[in-house]
Amino acid sequence: MISYARGLVLKHGDRLMVFKNKLDEHRIQFEYTDNGQYVTETIGENYRAIKSGKYTLSQSPLVPIGKKDDEKFVTLPSHIPPKKEAGVAYKNKFIRAAIREKIPACSLPKLRVMIERVYAEIQASESREFQHFPKRSPSAVREWVRTYKKNGSMAYSVVDKRGIRKAQRRIASKVNDLLDELLQKHYLKPRGETVRSTHRLLEREIRAINMNEGEDLKCPSLSTLNRRVQELPKMLVDRHRYGSAYAKNKWRYSMHGDQSTRIMERVEVDHTMLDIWILDPITGLPLGRPWVTILIDRYSGYILGLHVSFYGPSASTIASALRMSIEPKDLLCQAIPGLQNSWTVYGVAELYVMDNGKEMHSHRFRRIGWELQTDFVYNPVRQPWLKASIERTMMEVCRIPFLHTTSNDDFDIGLDQQ
């Protein structure tokens, strides 16, 4: 996203354009550095020129004319190993929390409190993506934040550049497989065995294998089995031993309602199927019911963007609605005849709150957040009141086709006239 503020420099061929003023909510002004000529255009026209390649971004106005500078900004690598990408996502949870809470780099006690809270949330999550990452010290998180800020708030600047080394276990692979099997069979079940009882069963199985197959397998100690149990996700253990309801009540992290204090701080995202059928204007055959994806600002209740299509919820439909909310809309408003009010909002919000759909947890969608340098928060299951603003908006959107009609016939006539 482009920020129209002092310091923005564009290249028009070999000439440099420096941002000077924002004349009103639609028009901006640039100055050519070679002859002082001023250029005035709308934000939409300037944005479209950048997308088409007429203008290109330049990092510094001090680059001599004709010298090839780093006009192509560093972008996210196209291929990142899954383990390294998970490590980047894990580190960014702590980095973004430290930045949101404005914790000073020198305050290690405050960082320690934040680390304990974020790590507890990660352990309570049903996702096992981050379960194998250890809890890091405040000094390590401080270095992550410094690296993140020094590299222009790039989420992937903290990627582990070392090769992934697979730790070698000191127990035999056959014993390791047997240990996992017994944990699954005897420990991870309702009213399952204790760790000590599971260890006795393991000793018995290994003793039987040595006698029957003539092998010399060593039984792991009770402390080794205890460590293996401690490595299991806590919520997973409670769900298998005590049931899903107990595990969710114990480990489900819940936010305490809306805490937004300004516009573009918290944006809620949702999609629904509209209560209308689209008919083919020629054959009259029903084409289907369309889906709508809407983004709304929680603080002001202002709709930032939307996307209507026959495709169901997916990363592409959300990305389309997100793109519309970010881009200027003055050209869109000019194309609609008879429009009285302007649609002024555009830009990237600080936080996006959305449901727990698969499309919103995809790696591609997460990397969109990294590129935009924003946060994605997933609403807890069965707690829609934590994003009541978008839920109410969806209800009103579904009612719009029927607000000005007294019967289905009136609505059909309106469609025929259009």
For residue 66, the model assigns a pLDDT of 41
128, 236 Cβ separation under 8 angstroms = yes
* Other beta carbons less than 10 A from residue 237's beta carbon: 17
Q: What are phi and psi of 269, to 5 degrees?
A: -125, 135
Alpha-carbon distance of 15 to 13, in angstroms, equals 6
Could you tell me the CATH superfamily of domain 267-417?
Answer: Ribonuclease H-like superfamily/Ribonuclease H (3.30.420.10)
pLDDT at 318 over 70: yes
Contact residues for 177 (Cβ-Cβ < 8 A; gap 6+): none
Is CATH 2.60.120 the right assignment for the domain spanning 173-251?
Answer: no
Neighbours of 24 (CB within 10 A): 8
* Span 35-44, average pLDDT: 87
Global pTM reads: 0.50
359 pLDDT above the threshold of 60: yes
Provide DSSP, 219-243. Answer: PPPHHHHHHHHHHS-HHHHHHHHH-
Task: Give the pairing type, strands 375-378 and 351-354.
Answer: parallel
208 and 200 Cβ atoms separated by less than 8 Å: no
The pLDDT-based confidence of 256 (bands split at 50, 70, 90) is: low
Task: Report the pLDDT averaged over residues 311-325.
Answer: 90
Range(s) of the chain covered by CATH 3.30.420.10: 267-417
Q: Where in the chain is the domain with CATH 1.10.10?
A: 173-251
Backbone angles phi, psi at 16, to 5 degrees: -105, 140
